[in-house]
Homo-oligomer: A and B are copies of this chain.
């Protein structure tokens, strides 16, 4: 059974459940990409059970319910999977101000982690809002 054409979920988190799968998180309404994060089996199951985006933090080495501290929970409307069943796309709605831990010059959170673009000379500039 080919992963591309089956109706069976064959997402592979490894024998120990800790193989990390990248998760693209996209705002269901605006279509903006908010964050790229990772899920292990526990994070995926917690997302399904709670209805809120839950990742595995590689820096803290623990399950991380996105927005639990900041209040910007991401409600999962739909979960899509790619052809090879090795990456996920969460379509979400935001319950807070911004999905990123980084802030704008005025101190409010960036709506998305992808707030800069690359320009010639290996430089970055802010994406106009």
State the A residues within 8 Å of B (CB). 4-9, 22, 24, 26, 31-33, 35-36, 78-84, 87, 89, 100-102, 110, 113-118, 122-125, 127
A8 touches B124 (CB 8 A): yes
Contact of A87 among B9, B36, B118, B127 (CB under 8 A): B36
**Does the CB pair B24–A80 fall under 8 Å?**
no
With A83-B102, A117-B79 as contacts: A8 and B89 at CB distance below 8 Å? no
- List of B residues within 8 angstroms of A32 by Cβ: 31
Q: Of all chain B residues, which has the CB nearest A23?
A: B36
> B9–A122 contact, CB under 8 A?
yes
Question: For residue A105, which residue of chain B has the nearest CB?
Answer: B5
Q: Out of B8, B24, B33, B113, which one reaches A123, CB within 8 Å? A: B8
Cβ A113 vs Cβ B33 within 8 A: no
